[in-house]
Amino acid sequence: MEWQNKLTQLLGVTYPVIQAPMLGVTSPAMVAAISNAGGLGSLPVGGFSPEKTRQLIQEVKSLTDKPYSVNLFAHDVPDIDSVQAEAMRSYLNTLIDKNGLHAEVPDLESLKFYTYKEQIAILTEENVPIVSFTFGIPDDGSLTKMKQHGIILIGTATCTEEAILLAEKNVDAIVLQGIEAGGHRGSFIPGDVPQVGLMALVPMARKAVNIPLIASGSINSGETVKAAFALGALAVQIGTAFISANESLAIPAYKQALATAKDTDTILTRAFSGRWARGIKNDFIDKVESTGLDIPPYPIQNSLTGTLRAEAQKKDNGQLTNLWSGQAAALSADKLPSADIFNKIISETESL
């Protein structure tokens, strides 16, 4: 098994295996554990304040001197439709009451949205080596600033058209997120959210763009790593398999749900955040979707549901918070140190 290729060389890693940035799951300790093991740890900072962004990056840097990446949400913030948002806010407050949670949905006036634009300066100041992004493409000024600082850029595409748009911006690599993947869809073209499986997406994108491709979506074993490489990916990105890791921020109920999830137990939903994301079906999704209420767009819905989800997590209630998961969660739900999970996948791949 020859692990080294032009992408590992560009990223400066031993193995072309990336730990997916998972907001609410990935800790700086997880990022450092994967980077120290020879992969690429990815720190999610989407929507965080500049201060929190800097603090987390510094924490990663204190734990590893290996390359790591920081993941941005490259979206714009839409105007709030206050009628739509107030209706959702009112419903969520009712849901909180009914479930005896001690929380309150924030007032619309108090909502504060940070974007990647406020984070770029910190990335350069902290000499972050690699930046990945999803939900869109940062503006040209931000891209130029990062490139001028020598930052390696990794975009996210869920269909070939998005891969072509990323290629036009000269990114260094592209994560191809198959429909199998858990968490938020990185989609950014207008219209219906793309739902392309990896078996189609990698070959289709490979024909269209000449940029190193990273396959993502239900990759969690030697077999799946081999399959992704057979399709022409130069690296894989692994998410769900690290949710049960010791360094994960996931609550016990979340880890339990992953361990027993069937391949039909996840769905795409906008209920939690206003953006399409794949998670295990639960009461929250059922309830919000059956209200018939318009779901405000990301990041508005995300902020409206934040206090409820935080309170549910405190109570280890997996029915009222997001349980992002890929379609093959049960195949890799080991409660082990992140590095052990990583090393297991590497050894399995080498043994095939």
Residues that bind a copy of itself (CB under 8 A): 159-161, 178-180, 189, 191-192, 194-201, 203-204, 207, 217-219, 221, 223-224, 226-228, 230-232, 262-264, 267, 326-328, 330-331, 352
- Cα 14 to chain centroid distance, Å, stands at 22
The full length of the chain comes to 352
Identify which of residues 22 and 308 has a Cβ nearer to a copy of itself in the complex.
22
Identify which of residues 101 and 227 has a Cβ nearer to a copy of itself in the complex.
227
Identify which of residues 28 and 217 has a Cβ nearer to a copy of itself in the complex.
217
Instruction: Count the alpha carbons within 13 Å of 39 in the hemisphere toward its beta carbon.
Output: 27
Q: How far is the CB of 209 from a copy of itself (least distance, A)?
A: 13
From 1, 2, 46, 47, select the one nearest 20 (Cα to Cα): 46
Identify which of residues 178 and 296 has a Cβ nearer to a copy of itself in the complex.
178
Identify which of residues 27 and 224 has a Cβ nearer to a copy of itself in the complex.
224
Helix intervals (H) in 152-196:
160-168
**SS3 state of residue 248:** coil
Identify which of residues 161 and 340 has a Cβ nearer to a copy of itself in the complex.
161
Q: How far is the CB of 195 from a copy of itself (least distance, A)?
A: 7
Q: End-to-end CA distance of the chain, in Å?
A: 9
Q: How far is the CB of 227 from a copy of itself (least distance, A)?
A: 4
Q: How far is the CB of 221 from a copy of itself (least distance, A)?
A: 7
Cα–Cα–Cα angle for 63, 71, 41, rounded to 5 degrees:
35
CA pair distance 289, 285, nearest whole angstrom: 6
Residue 332 burial (C-beta neighbours within 10 Å; 0-12, 13-18, 19+): buried
Q: How far is the CB of 120 from a copy of itself (least distance, A)?
A: 30
CA pair distance 103, 303, nearest whole angstrom: 13
Q: How far is the CB of 89 from a copy of itself (least distance, A)?
A: 29
